[in-house]
Structure 1
């Protein structure tokens, strides 16, 4: 059970420091202290903690992880724990193997995400990854050991949502596959990946292309817009104001909830006349689904909402929560849900999608805007740009450099008038005419 005899001779002169761990060049560096702890630095700069121990008369090495994830203090603690195991007659390597074999899916998710989430440039994706696993996978297989998870277990997670929420389910399947792939490489499981699509789940689940798109969000009927907007304007609270702003700009909920004041530029030219005050909201690429910067033309109605909102010291968010953070997605959805509940209590059907008869939700308002733009005769590309959708092929986008900002500003002003049930000031062609020749006054 003893250590190599040379170790005590190095103890006084070779104790490592945090600075040394960070700056040491290629080689092996003994920490001393009788724990057998060594920092190994490869020629490519990679750093690893190794502990040398003697088990049953044989010298062995145990990997303890890598800096900076495993700090010098952490490595010493792990090395000391192994020493204590040796004194009881146990084999630290055997105990480590047992630990690997007993990891659960929930634990594997945490390990995987700790190392992988930093690779995502988009903050939305960093949040979506754990959100879908927490919502759908962990409740059903989180407690299972990864080595015991089968295709049948993965199906228990996916089948309930495969038809209704196929896009979400498809992404979830890929995330489960990635976590289990990591578990295999890390030595926690062996064999085929039960979440693999090709030659596996593909034979058991309908193809995504054949599944009816169940993720389409219920939209507000155009005939209900004026009544719905009037109802919304009577409601107080930050979430209600955020919903008004979301509707006026046809933006996504996440874009509005994450909006910060640094992204807003209000035009001072008409500061004396609020009815003409306009502005610009520039959303950085990091916050956009398409991964590219998006400019939103702010109409006087949108500007009025921004100017009426108080600012919280220490919070950068325009629509802030009680403690200064961003509003939750549920807070905005709750406003529409309460509006629907009020309608139903009054004996009215409420605000239902004209096709699926489900209550309208915030994201469905984008579909309402798109239908309105089409029926008003606005050019397709202009409406798609307002929604921050990709238009045309890569070649077409390369030549189409303009985002039609000022023309979109007129369109959004017309949309605002429609919401408020005012007479439109825009001169737009009717359906059936050539939309390419529409004029936006």
Structure 2
């Protein structure tokens, strides 16, 4: 058969039948809607499926007769070798589209950012991967990552930094699960990685609690270092409020005037600012109310604003203060932490005979037992009110003062 000439191709009309190339089996020029234009098609039987297939090789005249012939000849060679050209092309495109671990992690990080309580948590999430994982598998496509690769990344911190290692492992798992869900890999290698790593100490053994001040020392500490009633000293007011309400420091630092119900003497923390994502009501003691009154006028929204920037205080403010005054703790060579006062409150409750449920509700701890949680839905606000007042009286030495007055 004669080879298709350029003059013939230029004269192809929409109503014409496909014109065979003549030199390559199955290659033909199909007419388009415009005279002199067409598209190259190679018809062949797949050596893999034995089905007939049509492979497009581009449009004429953009792809010349010679160019179409060269491309078709290459595809014929693949067919002779038992390779389906279209399947091979799809496979290469898929490989090119599979993201590396680093790219996948950064994509997932952006998707997850709106779900984190604050930007700091989101930054910590990507920072651990950047520091511990990207140097090992950051440039590896997801479908090429095996359990041994992940074990290699985790091994340097697996025993020495067990908590960090486990958080990092969880984040690697999330990235690989994302890849699996998107079809970039066919399994999650993190599921079996622990079989390649040494056994860690139990969590109970390695858990390090926040250093807490022994509850017996709190009244003296508050009297000497905290309760100064100085309107300009927001840090001390904040710390005393944290101690009196047994709240998390972040909840107090972000406290708004709109959350205070003066009539019922209650602080209502909305769910979006709570760790458990459930709103929490805090009965306010007399001293807690005094502190709030002391803060009036400093800011129209924030109760404890920073003095200079007039915004929410940093999470390091209380830490720095406690270090500065060398706040004692029950941990050797460690300074008491703001969060540790919650533990101090819990110990005080236990040693002074208060019911466990009241103490746990005061700390906004979720009920772990699902059956118990289903039936116990009250927050025991009014029962907690005398408890928080008694705690306040203890912290501020009010009971001691009353005893001294009685003796006199």
Under a length normalisation based on structure 1, what TM-score does the superposition of the two structures give? 0.60
Q: Deviations over 1:17-44 (max 9, x none)?
A: xxxxxxxxxxxxxxxxxxxxxxxxxxxx
Decide whether aligned partners of structure 1 residues 201 and 264 sit closer, same or farther in structure 2, where only a CA change above 3 A counts: same
Secondary structure, counterpart of 2:177 in structure 1: helix
SS of 1:329 mapped into structure 2 = coil
Aligned with residue 361 of structure 1, among 337, 346, 350? 337
d(CA) in 1 for partners of 2:160, 2:176: 21
- Is the CA contact (8 Å cut-off) linking 2:154 and 2:165 kept in structure 1? no
Residue of structure 2 in register with 1:258 after alignment? 254
Equivalent residue number for residue 295 of structure 1: 281
Structure-to-structure mapping, 1:46-195, within 5 angstroms: 57=58, 103=100, 105=102, 107-118=103-114, 120=115, 123-124=116-117, 127=119, 129-142=121-134, 144-147=138-141, 150-162=150-162, 166=163, 169-183=165-179, 193=188
- Counterpart-to-counterpart distance in 2, 1:58 and 1:424: 95
Task: Find the counterpart in structure 1 of residue 295 from structure 2.
Answer: 309
Residues 364, 256 of structure 1: alpha-carbon distance in 2 compared, 3 angstrom cutoff: same
| Candidates 211, 218, 238, aligned match of 1:218 | 211
Aligned residues of 1:108 and 1:146 also touching (Cα < 8 A): no
How far apart are residue 373 of structure 1 and its match?
0.8
Q: Determine if contact 1:108/1:179 at 8 Å carries over to the other structure.
A: yes
The offset of 1:255, in angstroms, is 1.5
Change beyond 3 A, Cα 1:352–1:212: same
Deviation at 1:312, TM superposition (A): 5.7
- Equivalent residue for 2:347, pick from 365, 368, 371: 371
Structure 1 Cα separation of the partners of residues 96 and 196 of structure 2: 34
| Residue 245 of structure 1: how far off its partner (Å) | 0.9
5+ unaligned residues in a row in structure 2: which ranges? 1-55, 61-90, 403-408
Of the candidates 360, 382, 386, which is equivalent to residue 384 of structure 1?
360
Structure 2 matches for 1:324-335, cutoff 5 A? 324-335=310-321
| C-alpha separation in 1, matches of 2:123 and 2:233 | 27
Give the drift of 1:323: 3.3
* Two-structure CA RMSD over aligned residues (Å): 3.7
Which residue of the other structure, out of 391, 400, 403, is the alignment partner of 1:415? 391
Instruction: Determine the C-alpha separation between the residues in 2 that align with 1:242 and 1:335.
Output: 11
CA apart distance, 1:152: 1.0
Deviations 1:242-297 (A, max 9, x none): 22111110001222122222211113xxxxxxxxxx71011122222223221100
Alpha-carbon shift at residue 173 of structure 1 (Å): 2.2
Distance 1:405 1:373 in 2: 16
CA-CA distance at 1:425 after TM superposition: 10
Partner of 1:323: 309
Quick check: 2:285–2:388 contact (8 Å CA) kept in 1? Answer: yes
**TM-score, normalising length from structure 2?**
0.64
Cα distance in structure 2, aligned partners of 1:145 and 1:217: 38
- Report the CA distance between 1:336 and its aligned residue: 1.2
Q: Where do 5+ consecutive residues of structure 1 fail to align?
A: 1-54, 60-92, 268-277, 341-349, 427-441
Per-residue CA deviation, residues 377-433 of structure 1 (Å, 9 max, x unaligned), is: 11111111101113474343444343222231211111112112231699xxxxxxx
Per the alignment, residue 227 of structure 2 pairs with 233
Change (3 A) 1:128 1:215: farther
Q: In 2, Cα distance between the equivalents of 1:237 and 1:169?
A: 40
Larger radius of gyration: 2
Mark the CA change 1:131 to 1:338 in structure 2 (over 3 Å): closer, same or farther. Answer: farther
Distance 1:153 1:296 in 2: 45
Instruction: Name the SS for the 1:212 alignment partner.
Output: helix
Measure the CA separation in 1 of the matches of 2:315 and 2:339. Answer: 11
Q: Report what 2:27 is aligned to.
A: none
Aligned to 2:379: 403
The answer (yes or no) to whether the contact 2:158–2:200 under 8 Å persists in 1 is no
Q: Deviations over 1:4-26 (max 9, x none)?
A: xxxxxxxxxxxxxxxxxxxxxxx
Q: Equivalents in 2 of 1:392, 1:139: separation in Å?
A: 34
Distance of aligned partners of 1:405 and 1:425 in 2 relative to their CA distance in 1, 3 Å threshold = farther
Aligned match of 1:352: 329
1:104 Cα shift? 6.0
Change beyond 3 A, Cα 1:109–1:423: same
Secondary structure at 1:281's aligned position in 2? strand
